């Protein structure tokens, strides 16, 4: 029988919750013990004590180790949040004496990680050399579910529509980006001055998959003019790979203004003079609702606004 919350809270110890998180992460008592640099019996004892305190089994044995029970997963979710808050608290204590020092765990969508994020980190750390960053890359879904809700990062930068944002997250819009059809300089369309999006439907395209934010935009754009989307000659979710391939001349692609601003001069692309009839979701900083940002995160967010504001005016 599960005890009352106040009874449990008086008996719980952080070392027990630490063992819980490690066993769940590594899938076995032995691997958890190795990771924590303690003996396996110490880990087993901590889990046994925890199960006795809460009154339910927290792990089931499986062929290759152990896995959390439904009760274990529930406690694990809250334990992860506890340790995340502790890390943030320690970082805040450190930054009280110097708010420009500390570590920021940040997530970023791939297309923004090749230009925007490196620029922000480079310029901010030139001003404040004691800052450090731990960066996780992923698509918007992964960044939301694995990194933000799993509290692996404090904030994430991504392109996302409000309706695709998890209810436990909130967005701070950095800018509204514009999408462009692009070609390599040697592509015949790069020399044409007057044509429409419909004229390009049968060309060779390098595009993200349909479930990618930009891939969905392209389907919508051609649907607006009454056409099926173009066939994907190359399907790739990486904006950097797309730009490198399109620059070689065979393919057309679609990129946002912010991405194009940061591509290196060696990747020569031509923005084609066609109207892209769909507005892209805004580029936003996503955070957990109700979570107070650390001083380092607030510093980064304010700096990102300063850097992006003049870029947004260029579009």
Average pLDDT of the chain to the nearest whole number = 87
- Residue that is last in its domain, among 19, 45, 78: 78
pLDDT at residue 2 in the model: 47
Q: When comparing pLDDT for 178 and 53, which is higher? A: 178
pLDDT range class, residue 303, cuts 50, 70, 90: very high
Domain co-membership, 231 together with 286: no
Domain co-membership, 167 together with 41: no
Q: CA–CA distance from 92 to each of 101, 120, 170 (Å)?
A: 10, 21, 22
pLDDT at residue 24 in the model: 86
Domain co-membership, 168 together with 185: no
Domain co-membership, 167 together with 290: yes
Q: Any idea what the Cα angle at residue 34 is, between residues 30 and 38, rounded to 5°?
A: 100
Q: What is the mean pLDDT of residues 200-220?
A: 92
Within a domain: 83? no
Q: What tens digit of pLDDT does each residue of 180-189 get?
A: 999 999 999 9
Q: CA–CA distance from 41 to each of 38, 53, 171 (Å)?
A: 9, 18, 45
Domain co-membership, 296 together with 245: no
Q: How far is residue 284's CA from residue 281's CA, in Å, rounded to a whole number?
A: 9
Q: How far is residue 251's CA from residue 162's CA, in Å, rounded to a whole number?
A: 31
pLDDT at residue 309 in the model: 83
CATH number where 110 lies: 3.40.190.10
Q: What tens digit of pLDDT does each residue of 33-58 get?
A: 888 889 988 988 988 888 888 788 88
Range with lowest mean pLDDT among 90-94, 165-169, 206-210, 279-283: 90-94
Domain co-membership, 239 together with 292: no
In angstroms, what is the C-alpha Rg of the chain? 24
Residue carrying structure tokens 């005890």: 3
Domain co-membership, 227 together with 292: no
Q: How far is residue 80's CA from residue 24's CA, in Å, rounded to a whole number?
A: 11
The residue segments making up the domain with residue 56 are 5-78
Domain co-membership, 216 together with 144: no
pLDDT range class, residue 225, cuts 50, 70, 90: very high
pLDDT over 70 for what percent of the chain?
Answer: 88
pLDDT at residue 157 in the model: 96
Q: How far is residue 242's CA from residue 208's CA, in Å, rounded to a whole number?
A: 8
Within a domain: 90? no
pLDDT at residue 1 in the model: 45
DSSP letter string over 206-274? EE--TTSHHHHHHHHHHHHTT-PPPPEEEE-S-HHHHHHHHTTSS-EEEEEHHHHHHS-TTS-EEE-S-
Q: Residue-wise over 50-59: b if at least 16 C-beta within 10 A, else e?
A: bbebbebebb
Within a domain: 257? yes
Within a domain: 93? no
Are the CB atoms for 151 and 165 separated by under 8 Å?
no
Domain co-membership, 217 together with 155: no
**Closest Cα to residue 275, out of 211, 179, 192?**
179
Q: What tens digit of pLDDT does each residue of 70-111 get?
A: 887 888 777 776 666 666 666 666 655 566 778 899 999 988
Domain co-membership, 40 together with 53: yes
Domain co-membership, 258 together with 306: no
Q: What is the mean pLDDT of residues 192-215?
A: 93
Domain co-membership, 192 together with 160: no
């Amino acid at each position: 029988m599960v005890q009352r919350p106040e009874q449990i809270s008086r008996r719980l110890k952080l070392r027990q919750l630490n063992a819980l998180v490690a066993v769940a992460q590594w899938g076995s008592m032995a691997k958890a013990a190795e990771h924590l640099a303690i003996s396996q019996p110490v880990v087993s004892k901590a889990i046994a004590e925890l199960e006795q305190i809460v009154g339910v089994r927290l792990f089931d044995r499986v062929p290759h180790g152990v896995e959390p029970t439904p009760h274990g997963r529930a406690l694990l979710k809250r334990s992860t949040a506890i340790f995340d808050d502790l890390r943030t608290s320690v970082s805040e204590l450190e930054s009280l004496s110097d708010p420009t020092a500390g570590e920021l765990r940040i997530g970023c969508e791939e297309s923004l990680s090749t230009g925007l994020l490196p620029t922000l980190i480079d310029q901010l750390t030139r001003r404040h050399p004691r800052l450090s960053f731990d960066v996780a890359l992923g698509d918007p879904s992964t960044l939301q579910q694995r990194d933000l809700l799993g509290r692996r990062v404090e904030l994430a930068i991504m392109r996302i529509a409000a309706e695709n944002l998890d209810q436990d997250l909130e967005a701070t819009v950095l800018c509204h980006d514009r999408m462009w059809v692009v070609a390599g300089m040697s592509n015949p369309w790069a020399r044409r001055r007057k044509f429409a999006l419909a004229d390009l439907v049968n060309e060779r395209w390098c595009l993200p998959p349909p479930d990618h934010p930009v891939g969905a935009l392209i389907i919508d754009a051609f649907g607006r003019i009454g056409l099926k989307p173009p066939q994907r000659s190359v399907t790739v979710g990486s904006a950097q790979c797309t730009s490198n391939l399109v620059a070689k001349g065979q393919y057309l692609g679609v990129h946002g203004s912010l991405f194009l601003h940061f591509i290196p001069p060696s990747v020569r692309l031509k923005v084609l003079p066609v109207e892209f009839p769909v507005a892209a979701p805004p580029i936003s900083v996503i955070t957990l609702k109700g979570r107070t940002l650390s001083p380092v995160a607030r510093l980064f967010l304010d700096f990102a606004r300063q850097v992006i504001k003049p870029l947004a005016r260029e579009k």
